[in-house]
Amino acid sequence: MSGISRIFVVGAGTMGHGIAEVAALRGFSVTLYDIKQEFLDGALSRIRWSLERLAEKGTIGSPDEVMSRISTTLDLESGASGADFVIEAAPERMEVKRDIFSRLDRSARPGAVLATNTSSLPITEISESVSEGRRGSVVGMHFFNPPVIMQLVEVVRGSHTSDAAVGAAYDLARALGKQPVIVSRDVPGFIVNRIMARFLNAACSLVERGIYGMEQVDAAARHSLGMPMGAFELSDYIGMDVLDDIIRAMVARGFRMRPCGLFGEARAAGRLGVKSGRGFYEHPGAKFRKPELDPSLAGAVDPVLLIAPAVNEAAYLLREGVASRDDIDKAVRLGLNYPRGIFEYADQYGPGAIASALRRLEGLLGSDEYEPDPLILEIAGRGGRFYPRGPG
């Protein structure tokens, strides 16, 4: 990629070392930073293990060649000073990220792009920890886990982000072999986490109120909607602590949602999901176990009630100019592994049926967060579709 050859990754955890591996695989020189040598050594070990698996499959040649492009440092300032592009992948705590960016402000070379891999924290708030003249270089670049496999990258524009920084992040994502989407407004949760949260919270609330059973909901998600995981199955996979933190961070920044109490109860009880061996389902040995769900259970659930809140959120994102229709659908297909885009689901059932389901949810769950978006009502009112001629 023109102008970028040296990438500095801040944070050697799951996301950081994965991003470093992806960059090295695509020929970039990568420096990986963390606060302890043991963290860096562990990251290098995990990268080598991954590369060896890829070599066994014939996907790459020599792991040693890829590893030779990765160096490590315990000195953030020196690592940043030689980089063309910085990707921060530290823990999802605002105070941590603001401290890192203030240090990057003092040490990164003029013109370097400063990207954050945050999944839900505001880019604008992070950018305001750097000097005013550098705020345009701060951009969101949200990779998905695991970065080596997942193709989606959300490129997020903060209030201060320049066109040049957005373009550089987009082009770098393409150069890394990824499929980027543009998030044009800095809304909490961007595209994927907002849509995912709507689906998970509505499903959880329907069970919390006793309207459906947990396995009925998950069976409907899998067998009626064709999703790879049910709502409670996915919650276990993500981790109740992580999910609870994401939702709370979004709500604290204006995301209108009444969180389902079952998530907080599970977290408080230590039932965190796969990582603790038990969440909504059992996962012996802290290894993911896909629950057996009888397809007949799906018949008790109206699938439109499950998908309507996600469609409603997508309609809001489109109407508010946060992202394009095609990028929103790409994001859910690649980021959530949905078999079709969220607007394709809307057209499958019909915008009118989506609006009716949302009204029903308002009554069942007693929350105005299910009020149908004006765009859905407008399209339903004229008998239209999100894809007038069909998707694509």
Mean pLDDT, rounded, of the chain: 95
| Helical H segments across the chain, by residue range | 14-25, 37-56, 63-67, 76-81, 94-107, 123-127, 163-175, 192-208, 214-219, 231-238, 240-252, 261-268, 303-319, 325-335, 342-349, 351-365, 374-381
How many Å separate Cα 252 from the centre of its chain?
18
Residue 2: is its pLDDT beyond 70?
no
Catalytic one of 50, 107, 117, 119: 119
When pLDDT is averaged across residues 282-287 and rounded to a whole number, the result is 92
- Using DSSP, state whether 7 is helix, strand or coil: strand
- Please check whether residues 178 and 208 belong to one and the same domain: no
Share of the chain above pLDDT 70, in %: 99
Catalytic one of 17, 88, 107, 154: 154
Choosing from 161, 183, 205, the residue where a domain stops is 183
- What total number of domains does the chain contain? 2
The range of the structural domain enclosing residue 56 comes to 6-183
Known active-site residue 154: yes
| Residue predicted with more confidence, 333 or 119 | 333
When pLDDT is averaged across residues 86-111 and rounded to a whole number, the result is 95
Known active-site residue 356: no
Tell me the pLDDT tens digit for each residue of 339-378. Answer: 999 999 999 999 999 999 999 999 999 989 999 999 999 9
- Please check whether residues 116 and 172 belong to one and the same domain: yes
Catalytic one of 129, 193, 276, 312: 193
Choosing from 183, 213, 243, the residue where a domain stops is 183
Known active-site residue 312: no
User: What is the C-alpha to C-alpha distance for residues 353 and 374, in angstroms, rounded to an integer?
Assistant: 14
pTM for the complete prediction? 0.93
- Please check whether residues 179 and 199 belong to one and the same domain: no
Known active-site residue 17: no
Residue 288 resides in a domain: yes
- Please check whether residues 179 and 197 belong to one and the same domain: no
When pLDDT is averaged across residues 54-83 and rounded to a whole number, the result is 95
Residue 1: is its pLDDT beyond 50?
no
The pLDDT of residue 92 is 87
CATH of the domain at 171: 3.40.50.720
Q: In what order do the strands lie in the sheet with 152-156?
A: 70-73, 29-33, 6-10, 85-88, 113-116, 138-143, 152-156, 179-183
Share of the chain above pLDDT 90, in %: 91
Is residue 253 a contact partner of residue 122, using CB atoms and an 8 Å limit?
Answer: yes
Catalytic one of 117, 137, 142, 233: 142
Residue 109 resides in a domain: yes
Tell me the pLDDT tens digit for each residue of 126-185. Answer: 999 999 999 999 999 999 999 999 999 999 999 999 999 999 999 999 999 999 999 999
CA quadruple 145, 148, 154, 158: dihedral, nearest 10 = 90
Report the amino acid identity of residue 218. Answer: D
